[in-house]
Amino acid sequence: MRPNRLRKTLTLRGASQITAFDGTTWWRIDPFASGAAVGPVPEAELPDLQEESEFDGPLLTRGLPRSRFRYVGASVVTVGGRRVPVHSIHVTFPNGRETTVHLDAGSFLEVLRTQTRPVMGRETAMELTSSDYRDVQGLKVPHLLEIRITGMPSPIRIAVREMRLNVPMRADAFARPSRE
């Protein structure tokens, strides 16, 4: 919820992890690590979550106006086994983190993002691909995302079954529950 709230739920085998930001504090319910207790989000995860909360993507930086951009140039990248002509833009976030966004030269939709992020305490190269763009309320939105992390044998695949935009939400949906 704009301008600065995030709530995401990850459900795996019937258990749901909830991570949220109420505008002031990050909190989490993590049945995979801490049972049903409400606790803080680990400090090391906050930069990733802050980037993720900018759900418009790094090129539309509503909340990160001090990001710097540099046009890298036109090139060809391989995505999903096919060669795609792209325009690449290097982004440096205010916290010093960097990413390169590769836009399809014909549609200008993001097809690849390359970056280095901490994984289990080590800086690790990763590629994020976006594909299967579909029209959702007048916007082209990817419905297949893949995250390839150096050292992992296979990518993490996220297939979106349904996407709804501008769904009304109550502000209290982001509030930290009182149970500890």
pLDDT tens, position by position, 45-80: 887 777 777 667 777 755 456 788 999 999 999 998
- Res. 5: pLDDT tops 90: no
Residue burial 9-35, b: 16+ Cβ < 10 Å; e: rest = eeeeeeeebbbbbbeeebbbbbeeeee
pTM of the model: 0.80
